[in-house]
A and B are shown apart, each in its own frame.
Chain A
Amino acid sequence: MTRLQEALQGLRQEGRAALMAYLCAGDPTIEASVEGLVAAAQAGADILEIGWPFSDPVADGPVIQAASERALRHTRRVDVISAVAALRARVAQPIAVLSYCNPLISSGRDETLRELAQAGADALVIPDLPLEESAPWREAAAALGLSITPFIAPTTDPQRLPQIAQAADGFVYAVALLGVTGAAEDKAESILPVVAALRRHKDVPVLAGFGIGDAAAAARWRSRGLDGVIVGSALVKAMAQEGAEGVRNLVRQIRAGLDNLG
């Protein structure tokens, strides 16, 4: 069992929701972004998601786009990989790396996956890699013990759910709204029928992300039966305004929101 699977299974046995916290590597510096994620871990995040800045982040809203632009002024490939290693040295939680395809393939996909695995990454979240393109990636990642996180969205065709469920070796990332990261929360909850349909194929942990930024929203998604939530834009904003302490405070609030639900 991988570190990610163990963590998710442990949470389930305790009846607790998973909280995955995102920050962009190199925003504002590599050291500060590692510090921010360490603070998130200490405040109760279960999975740490570190973003590889990219010039063209099409799945991201203005907050993460701006973080990516700030980071790119000084962040190189070697910095991202060393940030993963630095984080691994300081936390026990699983580490997910969020990256678009191109930075990962630029120096050779298999070589880059190998370096990330060696640095201590457990999973990859690749927003522009749908299931249909992912077979060679999964093969390469599996050999390294890395998980590639499949997505579902409110528009996902039910016919694709069996393969998506099959591909999940950690958790499934449920895009909780029609839009980009940091958008307004979806009051229509249009992802829920897709989550229910997915679970009929396989009992796999499902974490909801996009537009979930505070304790109340996290608690709402928990009460809707999700296994956990992913918080990105709100933490990037907290980081920009108050640094690692801002991240710590927000993660603590969201943790409380998730736990008090019982």
Chain B
Amino acid sequence: MSGRFGAYGGQFVPETLMAALQELETAYREAMADRAFVDAYEALLREYVGRPTPLTHARRLTERWGGAQVYLKREDLAHTGAHKINNTLGQALLCQRMGKRRLIAETGAGQHGVAAATAAALLGLECEVFMGSVDVKRQAPNVYRMELLGTRVQAVESGSRTLKDATNAALREWVHSVRDTHYAIGSVVGPHPFPTIVRDLQSVIGREVLHQSEAAFGGLPQAAVACVGGGSNAAGLFAPLVPTGVSLYGVEAAGAGLDGDEHAATLTRGRPGVLHGAYSYLLQDGEGQVQEAYSISAGLDYPGVGPEHAYWHDSGRVRYLSATDEEALEALHLLARSEGIIPALESAHALARAGEIARALPKDAALVVVVSGRGDKDLESIREREASA
């Protein structure tokens, strides 16, 4: 494993963590070559997560948009309600394999925290999740879910008290407890080998899309689209499709608009720098201080992005677009009313740009949109926002 995606990636971490990253890379390489490990992981995906998740033909949405046939990749139907579980089960198995008894994780909205807590409960690991104190208040139901699953939730009071600082706190805790603890990072971010491991574990999304496309319409889709915060569901979709001719689109959060400071459009508006162990695009001021991101969607509210996305961005293999809070909300309503599916606010960003992509394609083409999670977690904040509007 090279650990670099073009110029991006690397291992910009304190010396104390270097041994753990090496240990993780070795353990991961050996695990992937070990049939028993891969079988155990795939069995969990089948029998516990409920994979493969369906590829749903969205007929009314297709009709409304009047372009390509729209297919939804239903990660919202995975156990815990999002794609995050694909990653945490794999990393929890790795944790066990390395003989470590404890898992730590960072979380923003709480989806990765819940998925980590779930995997830890299933495999009998101790688990602690770091969450900014602002998010602890905003996402109280997910805090309770984690606690029900036997996880300790640490409210982080430093910096912006959101995902960026939760990640700092998890890294600091890992420096302290690295000998018996595995840090299960939640996206394709962080130092090598995390971006590669998380991409590989999420690639089940793209591989299933390839098989299911063949079965549903006898070939490849013309285009595929996913939302991008750190970028794990998008990387999982893209990785198996990059070698094909499928047009790929990532959608970042434009928040209140790209002209101001209130957005999380890292690839669209940021520039390269080092955060959380990797060289990638960053939202930062002119002097290298990292800025706070903003999005209605807590899962996209992150000032960094996975280094492989930075590489795909620069190489032009993937086009990165953005959608505002308002556009995402509109798309959420549209999917709810036209297909009976309430997507997560994160996924609604992908849907917000999918209409234009579909309309630009002929009716016999196919467009795959990843619904990365279900919207239950967002209902309260949407209701509040719409009541006050």
Contacts and interface: CB of A to CB of B under 8 A. Distances in A.
A103 B287 contact: yes
Nearest to A127: B14
B14 A153 contact: yes
A102 B22 CA distance: 23
Contact of B164 (A56, A133, A154, A183): A56
A129 B12 contact: yes
Contacts of B273: 102, 105-106
Contacts of A257: none
Interface string A121-142: 0000001111111000000000
Contacts of A100: 274
Given A155-B16, A155-B178, A157-B22, A180 B11 contact: no
Contact of B287 (A56, A106, A129, A152): A106
A124 to B, nearest CB: 14
B172 A58 contact: yes
Interface in A215-234: none
Contacts of B17: 155
Contacts of A156: 15, 18-19
A74 interface: no
B13 interface: yes
Contacts of A90: none
A84 to B, nearest CB: 15
A193 B158 CA distance: 34
B288 A76 contact: no
Interface in B247-276: 273-276
B14 A175 contact: yes
A200 B273 CA distance: 37
B158 A62 contact: yes
B290 A102 contact: yes
Interface residues of A, number: 41
- Which of A54, A58, A69, A156 has the most C-beta atoms of chain B within 10 angstroms of its own C-beta? A58
Given A102-B290, A151-B15, A178 B284 contact: no
Interface residues of B, number: 37
A105 B175 CA distance: 24
Contact of B282 (A62, A102, A178): A102
B176 A59 contact: no
Instruction: Output the residue of B164, B177, B289 with the most chain A CB within 10 A.
Output: B289
Contacts of B158: 62, 65, 69
Interface in A44-80: 54-59, 61-62, 65, 69, 72, 76-77
Interface in A98-129: 100-107, 127-129
B171 interface: yes
B334 interface: no
Contacts of B172: 58-59, 61, 179-180
Interface string A179-216: 11001000000000000000000000000000000000
A54 B289 contact: yes
A208 to B, nearest CB: 13
A56 B175 contact: no
Interface in B285-306: 286-291
A102 B176 contact: no
B12 A101 contact: yes
A129 B13 CA distance: 6
A106 B179 contact: no
Given A69-B159, A155-B178, A133 B288 contact: no
Contacts of A154: 16
A59 B16 CA distance: 9
Contacts of A72: 289
Given A107-B288, A178-B176, A59 B14 contact: yes
Given A56-B164, A56-B290, A155 B19 contact: yes
B10 interface: yes
Contacts of B288: 54, 77, 102-107
Given A102-B284, A130-B11, A55 B159 contact: yes
Interface string A145-170: 00000011111110010000000000
Interface string B7-36: 000111111111110100000000000000
Interface in B157-212: 158-159, 164-165, 168, 171-172, 175-179
B16 A128 contact: no
Given A129-B12, A133-B11, A155-B179, A76 B171 contact: no
A54 B171 CA distance: 16
B66 interface: no
Contact of B14 (A56, A76, A107, A128): A128
Interface of A: 54-59, 61-62, 65, 69, 72, 76-77, 100-107, 127-133, 151-157, 160, 175, 178-180, 183
5 contacts: A55-B289, A102-B288, A128-B14, A132-B18, A154-B16
Given A59-B172, A155-B20, A175-B14, 17 more contacts: A55-B159, A58-B14, A58-B171, A58-B276, A65-B158, A69-B159, A102-B274, A102-B275, A102-B289, A105-B274, A105-B288, A106-B288, A107-B286, A130-B18, A155-B179, A156-B18, A157-B19
